[in-house]
Amino acid sequence: MFFWLFALTTIGFGESVGADPTNDDSPKHVRILTIGNSFTNNATRYLDEITEAAGHKLTHKSLTIGGSPLELHAAKALAFEKDRSDRSAFYSKGESLQQALQSEDWDFVTIQQLSVRSHDVETYRPYAAQLADIIHRYAPQAKLLVHQTWAYRSDDPRFRSSRKSNGGPTTQQAMYEGLSDAYRTIAAELSASRIPVGDAFWIADNDPKFGYRAAEDFDAGKLEYPELPAQTHSLHTGYRWNNRDGKRTLGMDGHHANLAGEYLGACVWFEGLFAESAVGNEYVPEKLEPEYAAFLQTVAHKAAQQGGDVVRGIPAEPKTVKDPSPQRYQFRVRASEIDSRTGEYPAIGFVSGSDEKPADLEFASVDTRVAPKGKLAIWLMGHNGGLFERWNEYGIHAIGVSYARGWFGKLAPPQPSDAYARGRIRLEAATGLDFSDELDLMPPDGAAERARQLLLWLSKENPQGNWQQFLADGGSRLRWDKIIMTGASHGSTTAARFAKHQRVDRVVMLCGPRDQDQDWQSLPSATPANRFFGFTHVLDGGWTGDHYCRSWEMLGMNAFGPIVDVDSTTPPYENSRSLITAADVGGDAGRAHGSVTPGRSSPKNEDGGLKFDPVWRYLYTHPVDEVGVATEEDPGCQRVHVKYD
C-alpha cells in the first residue's frame, strides 16, 4: 500500500444547514415528495401558507391513499419494478412512485405508517426498507424522512374497554409510547430522520393550560344538533354531527387532526424542512385563536429541537478541508484489508490472493491542486493509470474497486438461459444482492459496497481529499447522483447494467457494452438515457459484430444525437452520446478494442500526445443536458443475435 497523507481532522458526515436559524435569512426553496395517507395530508395542510409567510418556496408532490399502510405503497412500487404496465403500480394521477421520484430533484422524500399499526414496529418491516431502497435508487440526492404520526385522542372509542381485546394500545399514552419507539427504531434502521409531529401532539395534549381534557358524564342521547360535548383545545376532529339519509347522528373521529392539529403538524414540518423556527410566523388560520396558535408554534419548535434523529433542514455538503500542501494523491489498498467481511469465490476466480500476490487491490486518486467538480468516477475493469490521471486533471475523484468479473465465460455458457440471465449476473456482481441463481455473492463483495468501504477508508486516511462528499446519511450509503459509472469492455457492460438499476450522474462505456444475446439494455432505467455515453473503434469486434450499435440503440442513445466520427469532428461532437473512431491501429481488431482507453494501443498525435484526449474530456465532463439532434435507429444494425424458445 502506498499513499501520502497529512494529519488533518476528518469532517463528520451528515452535517446540516440551519442548526442556528439566525445564521441564514435568505429565501430557501425546498422540494418534497410525500408518500402516505390522510395523516400526511393533515400534517401538510397549512405548510404552503406557513412557508410563504416565512418568505420561502415549497415544491410539494403528494402520493397519498386514504387508509394506506407502508405495505400498500411498497407493493405498488415493487409491482412497477416487475411490470411497468401493471395498473396497480400507479397512483390516482397516473404516476408510479418511481416516475414521481424522477420527476424532480427532490430534497426530501417522506414515508409514514398507517396510524392503527404505528405502535407495532414489525408492521414496518420489510416495507419501509423496500421503499427506502427504491427511493435511494431513483432519487439518490434526496434525504429520506419518516413522518412520525400522532396518537389518537385520549377519549377515542378505540381505547374503551370494549375494544381492549384487539391487542392494540389501550390508552393514548401507550399508543404514543409505542409509535415513538417504532418510528425511532425504523429511522435508525434506515439512516433516516424524523418529522416529530407525534411528539408535538403529545406535548400539546399534556400541557397544563392548553392540553385537551375529555368531557365527562355527558349523555350523547340527550344532545341535540348542533350541540357538541365540550372539546376545547382538541387537536383531533373529535365529536361531530353526521348527516346520513337526512338523519343527524353524533359521530366521533379521534384519529384525524382538526384545524389546530393540522396547524401544529404543519409548523413541525416547516421547522424540519427549513431549519427555521415557526415561532412568530405570521400565518395563522382564521378560526384559530392567536394565543392558542402562538402556543402551537412554541410546541412545534420544542418538538423539532429534541431528538438527535430529527430533521433540521436540507443536509449540507460536507465542509471542504483545505489541503495545506496541494498535490496529487494516489492510493492502493486491498479490499480485504479495509473490510474483514469480504469473501472469496474460487469457482469464478474472485479471490483475495495473498500479501505477496494480492488479487483484491483497489485504487484511488485525487489531485487537490485542481478545482474539484464534485464528481467521483468508479472504474470497473483492471486499473488504468492513464484514465485516473486524466480524471484528476478534470477535477474528478477516481476509484477502482475489486469486484466479480471473472465469471464471464464460466457462468451462463454457451448460451444464457434467457434474454436477461447475464444481466442478472452483472447486477449481482455490481450490488452483491441476490439477483441471479447462477451467482451467489454476499453484499460486502458487490462493487457498490466495496466502493462504499473504500470511500469510508479514504475519508479517514486522506481527509484533505474530501472523499466524504460522496457519502450520505452518516456514511451508510453513496451519493450516487455524484458518481460516474464507467468501464471498458466487460466493465462497461456491467456499468451500464448497474446504471439501469441505480440512478447515477452519468455512464461512460468504452468499447462496450456488449451482451448481444441479452435484452436488459431496453429495460426501463433509473438513470436517464441522456446520461449514457459510448466510444468505440470501428474495427473492434463488438462494433463490426453489431454488438455496440445494438446496445446503444436499446439504451436510447440515438435520441440524443447521431453516431459521430471523432476523427473528422471537433468537440462537442454534435453533443452526441455515440462516438466512433477509425484511427490507424494497423488493422488489428484487438488493438482497436483497447485503443479507446489510454495505453499502448491508443493512437498518438504528431506531438506524441494521445489522440483521444479531447474525446475523454468530452465523455466525462460534457454537460448532460446539452444533447444532439435525435436520429432514427440504424436499419443496418443487427438487433437479433440469439433467439430463445
Domain identity same for 452 and 542:
no
Pair 356, 452 in one domain: yes
Residue-wise pLDDT tens digits, 187-238: 999 999 999 999 999 999 999 999 999 987 777 778 888 889 999 999 999 9
Please report the pLDDT score of residue 258 as a whole number: 98
Tell whether 262 and 353 lie within a shared domain: no
Domain of residue 59, CATH code: 3.40.50.1110
Residue 60 has pLDDT above 80, yes or no: yes
How many Cα atoms within 13 Å fall on the side-chain side of residue 59?
A: 12
Same domain, 120 and 193: yes
Strands of 506-510's sheet, edge to edge? 328-334, 361-367, 397-400, 376-380, 483-488, 506-510, 532-537, 578-581, 563-565
The pLDDT assigned to 103 comes to: 98
109-145 pLDDT, tens digit per residue, is 999 999 999 999 999 999 999 999 999 999 999 999 9
**Which of 439, 532, 419, 358 minimizes the C-alpha distance to 430?**
439
Average pLDDT value for residue range 602-617: 96
Residue 18 pLDDT: 38
89 pLDDT higher than 50: yes
Check whether the bond before 318 is cis (ω within 30° of 0): no
Say yes or no to pLDDT of 389 above 60.
Answer: yes
pLDDT band at 8 (very low <50, low <70, confident <90, very high): very low
For residues 511 and 597, the answer to whether their CB atoms sit within 8 Å is yes
Q: How confident is the model at residue 166 (pLDDT cuts 50, 70, 90)?
A: low
**Which of 462, 487, 503 is where one domain is finished?**
503
Domain count, the chain: 3
Query: Do 166 and 42 fall within a single domain?
Result: yes
Answer whether residue 249 is part of any domain: no
pLDDT tens readout for residues 177-188: 999 999 999 999
67 and 201 belong to one structural domain: yes
pLDDT value for 58: 98
Same-domain check for residues 112 and 149: yes
pLDDT for res 244? 85
* 197 inside domain: yes
In a domain, 227, yes or no: no
Mean pLDDT calculated for residue range 402-421: 94
38 inside domain: yes
Q: Note whether residue 245 is domain-resident.
A: no
Range of the domain at 622: 528-633
Q: What is the mean pLDDT of residues 423-441?
A: 98
Final residue in a domain of this structure, among 469, 503, 537: 503
As a whole number of angstroms, the distance between CA 538 and CA 43 comes to: 59
pTM: 0.94
Q: Which helix (H) or strand (E) holds 185?
A: helix 172-189
Are 33 and 151 contained in the same domain? yes
**Is 230 contained in some domain?**
no
In the chain, the percentage of residues whose pLDDT exceeds 90 is 90
241-265: pLDDT as tens digits: 999 888 898 999 999 999 999 999 9
Same domain, 586 and 464: no
pLDDT digits (tens, 9 = 90+) for 551-565: 999 999 999 999 999
Does 400 reside within a domain? Answer: yes
Query: What's the pLDDT at 118?
Result: 98
Q: How confident is the model at residue 11 (pLDDT cuts 50, 70, 90)?
A: very low
What's the angle, vertex CA 297, arms to CA 295 and CA 303, rounded to 5?
A: 105
First to last CA, the chain: 51
Q: Can you give the pLDDT at residue 165? A: 52
The answer to whether residues 499 and 541 belong to one domain is no
Task: Please state the rounded mean pLDDT for residues 65-72.
Answer: 98
pLDDT higher than threshold 80 for residue 61: yes
Q: What is the pLDDT of residue 10?
A: 30
Within this chain, do residues 462 and 596 fall inside the same structural domain, yes or no? no
Do residue 301 and residue 326 come from a single domain?
no
On whether residue 21 sits in a domain, the answer given is: no
Which candidate, 611, 628, 613, 619, places its Cα nearest to that of 575? Answer: 628
The reported pLDDT for the residue numbered 223 is 86
Q: How high is the mean pLDDT of the chain?
A: 94
Average pLDDT value for residue range 58-79: 98
